[in-house]
Amino acid sequence: MSVRSLILFFTLVVPIFAGEVRVATAANMAFALPKIVEAFKKIYPDVSVEMVVGGSGKLRAQIEHGAPYDLFLSANTQYPEALYAKGIGVDKPVVYAQGELVLFSRQGIDLSSGLEVLTDSKVTRIAMANPKTAPYGKAAKEALEHGGMWPKVASKIVYGESISQTVIYSLRMVDVGIIAKSALYSDKVAPYKEKATVAEVDASYYTPISQGMLLLKSASQNKEAEALYRFLQSSRAKEILQAYGYRTP
């Protein structure tokens, strides 16, 4: 094989990327995304990936106002679809994962009765994400309304701006938290697992938490961003997401 052929071969086969990608990611992905990026960098070791973590609603607002992100990983499909409708996305949003809700008590409260336990007098404070800005909060409120418990527990609620803040509240200041299942795999929760209790929230009580991803038009010439976007849809990324408590399409 000639030198010219070798150069062409490596250009076509070996990823030669060296740049930056800025990812605006929903807080629930704060635990799984670093592992995905770690796997991505085994293929593209010279690519720098910056993760900006926050509530999906706030990130959407930042993007609308021109924040310099390349990828948006939302905790719902509504926000990326709205951005795409405004011409901010390259392609239609892609569902990369589906999240689930769980009840979590660091105090070891018996959660076998499910959401009904929240009406018990011994449960005085409940953490959940803000339903106005956080998709997991919206799903939590929907589940409580479906079970007819919202009027009984609304006064007990302590709202987190994002699901990650809700996890912190669940670990430090409330009796029970309604959190993302993926949060159970975080380093923050690990020290409490031995004494804590967990129960899944009946998935039929809330609309499936389909999480949408959008490649932003500002990154249309960013090959590194497109590579990460494709990797997030790969079988390897799906394996990692499943290991962190998500369902994948």
What's the pLDDT score for residue 78? 95
pLDDT in tens, 5-46: 444 443 444 454 568 999 999 989 998 999 999 999 999 999
What's the pLDDT score for residue 24? 98
What's the pLDDT score for residue 133? 85
What's the pLDDT score for residue 12? 43
Closest CA to 129 of 98, 163, 79: 163
pLDDT in tens, 138-152: 999 999 999 899 999
The string of DSSP letters for 125-172 reads: -EEEE-TTT-HHHHHHHHHHHHTT-HHHHGGGEEEESSHHHHHHHHHH
| 3-98+209-243 matches 101-200 in fold | yes
What's the pLDDT score for residue 167? 94
Instruction: Give me the sheet containing 101-105, strands edge to edge.
Output: 157-160, 126-129, 176-180, 101-105, 197-200
3-98+209-243 placed in CATH 3.40.190.10: yes
What's the pLDDT score for residue 187? 86
Q: How confident is the model at residue 3 (pLDDT cuts 50, 70, 90)?
A: very low
Strands 20-26 and 71-73: parallel
Would the pTM count as exceeding 0.95?
no
- Token pair for 103: 């009840």
Q: Which amino acid is at 215?
A: L
* Selected residue with higher pLDDT from 18 and 190: 190
Q: Kindly list the domain boundaries of the chain, sorted by start residue.
A: 3-98+209-243, 101-200
Q: How far is Cα 40 from Cα 36, in angstroms, rounded to an integer?
A: 6
Q: How far is Cα 131 from Cα 148, in angstroms, rounded to an integer?
A: 17
Please compute the mean of the pLDDT values over residues 174-193 and round it to a whole number: 92
What mean pLDDT, rounded, does the chain reach?
Answer: 91
pLDDT > 70: percent of the chain: 93
Residue 86: exposure state from Cβ atoms within 10 A (0-12, 13-18, ≥19) = exposed
Q: Is the confidence at residue 59, as pLDDT, over 80?
A: yes
Mean pLDDT lowest among 15-19, 66-70, 109-113, 179-183: 15-19
What's the pLDDT score for residue 53? 94
Q: How far is Cα 228 from Cα 236, in angstroms, rounded to an integer?
A: 12
What's the pLDDT score for residue 17? 55
Options 2.40.170.20, 3.30.590.20, 3.40.220.10, 3.40.190.10; CATH for 101-200 is 3.40.190.10
What's the pLDDT score for residue 14? 44
Please compute the mean of the pLDDT values over residues 153-169 and round it to a whole number: 94
pLDDT in tens, 206-234: 999 999 999 999 887 899 999 999 999 99
